Amino acid sequence: MGKLLLVIDEGTTSTRAMVFEPSGACLGSESADLIQHYPGPGLVEHDAGEIWERSFACARTMVERCGGAQAFAAIGITNQRETVVFWDKQTGEPLAPAIVWQDRRTAALCREWRDAGEEAALHARTGLRLDPYFSGTKIAWAMRHWPQLREAGDRLAIGTVESWLVWKLTGGLHVTDATNASRTLLMGLGSGGWNDSLLDMFSAPREALPEIVDCAGRFGTTTLFGGEIPICGLAGDQQAATIGQACLSRGDTKGTFGTGAFVLTNAGTTPPTSKHRLLATVLWQLNGRRTYAIEGSVFVAGSLIQWLRDSIGLVATAPETDAIARSVPGSGGVYLVPALSGLGAPWWEPEARAALSGMTFSTTRAHIVRAALEAMAHQSHDLKTAFAADGADWSRLRIDGGMVANDWIAQDLADILGIPVDRPAFTETTALGAAMLAGIGCGIFTDLEDAAQMRGSCTSFEPQLDAATRDGRLAGWKRAVEQVLA
């Protein structure tokens, strides 16, 4: 058996395979875009077959490039969370489109449950909210509206994306790790198991669901790469990134700025409770013991820049936004509230819509682009305020994700949050976290502290903005959000 670690990092808009040495050195990656389908307003779907085919193709390329299956010790998988896949256990083929985490089709259903007074008890059991974001509501909708799922009977399999990939890699192993299970609305946060009353509420057949397992261990073996490689690490993308950022002590906090923005604070081994509309979630489970996190989820971050580029034509490439933002001293009073798929934490308004306000005849393209970038720090400040109210304020933020390659955004986060912001030299911390877990699962590392040697150096950004300017921006942002919520 070799020493290399293969990671399949399956995201929302692309999937990739990366190879790591135990030292943390990345030997390369292969990626492929994924097509997002928008069959109607608020609807977002993936072709699960495409997810599998492109993920497998990327992984196969990297295995061949790095010496074949015999060079590898283990596979780690990390994935877009909450997206749910429906497939046939006999044929191994999808029975319906995968419903993506961004999808809003269950907003009315969630509102009915909230109006019926279901949310408080559900939040206490799961740590989550009644929102279309989570897998359980998507399962409930699919079981009502897609007859082929009901007709499949005992052949129906339901799982999040890592569960789907493990099934395909192993030829039929049906498992999910505790981090992904904790995002479904179907798992008791304290018990770590499927909850019968929640399964009934969301019409989720127990026999269709996977077994909940640890984040590190030997979960099965694939022979699809010309030899046996064990699958030894599993975690949802945001938990994997938190591990990759070595947030191993209570209070350690990371923020990932990718398609959306997600901040997680290590909350220790006792299930946390938020009174300010944040989420409680499993951060990792090892040897049957869970460590938890408090999470704030922002639905639109990098996807806002993608929208400005692809739908509006305001920028040609994402990297050029750095220079555009620096070309003006401020946003000129312009605010962009990016509720393109509703508002996440701490508002949880799935039917909120985006708004661009404060424009005059003097407003230029640069002001609008800068307002879009400034929205990242503004939304993060809203989260920081909620975390502080829950007794989990941030003293330092470790950032990663595609957006923070932009130095302007990293500095703006430090300025608006008023705390130091650390960016690692290697920003693909989601894949790194999955590699760390795989390394533990196959015995290369003894625990997370041992695996943390894979994390490299960081650059720190210190706050520089004067208080008056900062307070003025935040006051304007507050007014802009209030208008959207109204």
Q: Which domains does the chain have, with CATH numbers?
A: 4-237 (3.30.420.40)
Q: How far apart are CA 305 and CA 338, in angstroms?
A: 10
SS3 content of the chain, % helix, strand, coil (to 5): 40, 25, 40
Q: How far apart are CA 328 and CA 323, in angstroms?
A: 9
The strand pairing partners of 265, in sequence order, are 253, 294
Q: How far apart are CA 21 and CA 31, in angstroms?
A: 19
Q: How far apart are CA 110 and CA 116, in angstroms?
A: 10
**Residue type, position 468, single letter:** A
Question: What does the DSSP 8-state code read for residue 94?
Answer: B
Task: Give the 3-state secondary structure of residue 108.
Answer: helix
Q: What is the enclosing helix (H) or strand (E) of 165?
A: helix 161-170
- What angle in degrees, to the nearest 10, is found between the helix axes of 107-115 and 119-126? 100
Please state, as a whole number, how many other Cβ atoms lie within 10 Å of the Cβ of residue 146: 16
Q: How far apart are CA 434 and CA 441, in angstroms?
A: 10
Q: How far apart are CA 220 and CA 208, in angstroms?
A: 19
Q: How far apart are CA 169 and CA 53, in angstroms?
A: 11
For tokens 């962009």, what's the residue?
Answer: 336
Nearest-5° Cα angle at 15, 349 to 50? 90
CB 215 within 8 A of CB 234: yes
What is the DSSP code string of 310-349?
III-S-S-STTHHHHHHTSSS-TT-EEE--BTBB-TTT-B
Q: How far apart are CA 55 and CA 232, in angstroms?
A: 17
Nearest residue to 180 (alpha-carbon basis) of 60, 318, 285, 35: 285
The strand pairing partners of 75, in sequence order, are 6, 231
Q: What is the enclosing helix (H) or strand (E) of 234?
A: strand 229-236
Q: What is the structure's pLDDT at 290?
A: 96
Q: For residue 446, what are the contacts with CB-CB under 8 A and spacing of at least 6?
A: 440
**Residue type, position 169, single letter:** L
Q: What is the structure's pLDDT at 259?
A: 80
Torsions phi, psi of 416, nearest 5? -80, -35
CB 176 within 8 A of CB 239: no
Record the tokens describing residue 464, joined without a space: 């520089």
45 vs 101, 267, 310, 415, CA distance in Å? 9, 33, 18, 37
The strand pairing partners of 290, in sequence order, are 285
- The number of residues in the chain equals 486
Please state, as a whole number, how many other Cβ atoms lie within 10 Å of the Cβ of residue 218: 12
CB 81 within 8 A of CB 160: yes
Q: What is the enclosing helix (H) or strand (E) of 222?
A: strand 221-222
Peptide bond into 346 cis (omega under 30): yes
Q: How far apart are CA 12 and CA 82, in angstroms?
A: 11
List per-residue pLDDT tens for the chain, 486 residues long: 789 999 999 998 899 999 999 999 999 999 999 998 999 988 999 999 999 999 999 999 999 999 999 999 999 999 999 999 999 999 999 999 999 998 989 999 999 999 999 888 999 999 998 889 899 999 999 999 999 999 999 999 999 999 999 999 999 999 999 999 999 999 999 899 999 999 999 999 999 999 999 999 999 999 999 999 999 999 999 999 999 999 999 999 999 888 888 899 999 999 998 888 889 999 999 999 999 999 998 888 888 888 889 888 888 888 888 899 899 998 999 999 998 878 887 888 877 888 989 999 999 999 999 999 999 999 999 999 999 998 889 999 999 888 888 888 999 999 999 999 999 988 889 999 999 999 999 999 999 999 998 987 889 999 999 999 999 999 999 999 998 888
Record the tokens describing residue 331, joined without a space: 């946003």
Q: What is the structure's pLDDT at 322?
A: 86
Task: Report the predicted TM-score, pTM, of the whole model to 2 decimal places.
Answer: 0.87
Record the tokens describing residue 408, joined without a space: 């302007």
Q: Is 202 exposed, middle or buried (0-12, 13-18, 19+ CB in 10 A)?
A: buried
